[in-house]
A and B are shown apart, each in its own frame.
Chain A
C-alpha cells in the first residue's frame, strides 16, 4: 500500500514510478537497475534503525533525499486510532542546518540537537555506504566482495 511518504518521495525525486513495498527489495528484477525511490527506501530502512527502539504502533523513517535534504517522518495511531504523522525536513544551507516543520515553523539547528543530527547523518552515511552501496565511506571505492 503506498504511503504518504512514498508519494512524497515520488514528488521529491520526480519519478512517477511507484516505489516497491516499503523496505523490501524489488522482486523479479534480474538485470534491472534500482530506481532512486527504491534506493531511498532501502536507505530509510537503515535510517530508521539509528535512534533506538521504535515504540509499538509507531513508524519512523529517517533518510536522505538529495544532496541537501534530509527527512524525518513519524506515524502513529492516537488514542482514537486515528493515524497521525509528523514530518520534518532538514535543509543543508550555507548558514547552517535549517529545520522546517508544518505550520511555517523553521529554525537552524544548534547545540545538542545539532550535534545529534550530525552524529545521525554520519552514522547513516557510514552504514548506508557499507551495507547498501558496498563502498568505502572514506574513499567511495567499491568494497571487495
Chain B
C-alpha cells in the first residue's frame, strides 16, 4: 500500500544508486571505526595479507590468497573470503539435522 503522494515523497528506488544512500555512508563510517577496533586483524594492511589468510575458513580461499594477489585487488580478496566463508557456514547448516535452533 503506497503512501499518498508517494511518487513525490519517495523517489523510485534505483539500485544503481543504492550503495550511495546516506544511511550506508554513515553506517560505513560508524562500522569501520567499531569494526577496526574490535577486529583489527580482519582489516589488514597489504603487508598483513598472509596473516589474513589464516582467518579464512574456506580452504580454497586460504590457498589462493597470496600477498601479490591481495596487493592487486584487496577488495576482491576480501569479498572472496566472505563469499567462501558464508558458503561454508551455509553448507554446514544444511547438514545440521537440528537446523539452527539456538
Q: Which A residues contact B (CB, under 8 angstroms)?
A: 25, 29, 31-36, 39-40, 42-43, 50-53, 55-58, 60, 64, 66-69, 72-74, 76-79, 81, 84, 86-88, 92-97, 99, 101, 105, 109, 112-126, 128-129, 132-135, 137-140, 145
Contact = CB atoms under 8 A, between A and B. Distances in A.
A31 B97 contact: yes
B12 A84 contact: yes
Nearest to B10: A55
B18 interface: yes
Interface of B is mostly: helix
Nearest to A67: B83
B29 to A, nearest CB: 9
Contacts, number: 183
A120 B24 contact: yes
A33 B99 contact: yes
A55 B73 CA distance: 35
A138 B39 contact: yes
Contacts of B9: 55
A121 B100 contact: no
B18 A119 contact: no
Interface string B59-101: 0000000000000010110111011111111101111111110
Given A34-B94, A86-B13, A96 B76 contact: yes
Nearest to B95: A33
B20 A57 contact: no
Contacts of A118: 75, 78-79
Contacts of A60: 13
